[in-house]
Amino acid sequence: REELKDDIRSRIWLTYRKNFQNIGGTGPSSDQGWGCMLRCGQMMLAQALILRHLGRKWRWTEDCTDDAYWKILKMFEDKKMATYSIHQIASMGEAEGKAVGQWFGPNTIAQVLKRIAVYDDWSGIAIHIALDNVVILDDI
């Protein structure tokens, strides 16, 4: 039971926020009402980065000093310059036909995170989106 609690505690939780820097300078300063799928995408990617940089057995503690953990957290800050910020995701969503502040579906968030991950040299990850439930092994 304690192992399960420790495992759950070790997940990065990203949820609705308000009063962050306006997206695009004049856009929304809250993601309430439209940011749920963006936050879900952030949390899935944050977990992938934890696995990539810290491993499956890594656990968060109150006195955590892992530089990689803190670097991952900073990548998701609600600031324009953070790699996987709500600002970057919402702005990149425009390339997928979604205005800033518009709700994303699962495919849109996947496509946007795939575009953004190209700029994450530190993690060296590639996001593969399996369309029609097909994974082609030669493409991985």
Nearest to 47 by CA among 98, 123, 118: 123
pLDDT at residue 104, rounded to an integer = 97
Q: How far is CA 103 from CA 2, 56, 78, 81, in A?
A: 37, 32, 17, 22
pLDDT at residue 33, rounded to an integer = 94
Q: Which two tokens stand for residue 92?
A: 């990149």
pLDDT at residue 138, rounded to an integer = 82
> Which residues are within 8 A (CB) of 93 and not within 5 positions of it... i.e. 6 or more apart?
99, 100, 102, 104, 108, 112
pLDDT, mean of each 10-residue run, the chain (140 residues): 94 95 94 96 98 96 95 97 98 96 96 97 92 77
pLDDT at residue 137, rounded to an integer = 81
Report the SS3 class of residue 30: strand
Distance separating alpha carbons of residues 76 and 42, to the nearest angstrom: 7
pLDDT at residue 133, rounded to an integer = 76
Output 7-10 pairs: Cβ under 8 A, ≥24 positions apart.
7/59, 9/59, 9/60, 10/50, 10/58, 10/59, 10/60
DSSP string, 87-99: HHHHHHHGGGT--
pLDDT at residue 130, rounded to an integer = 83
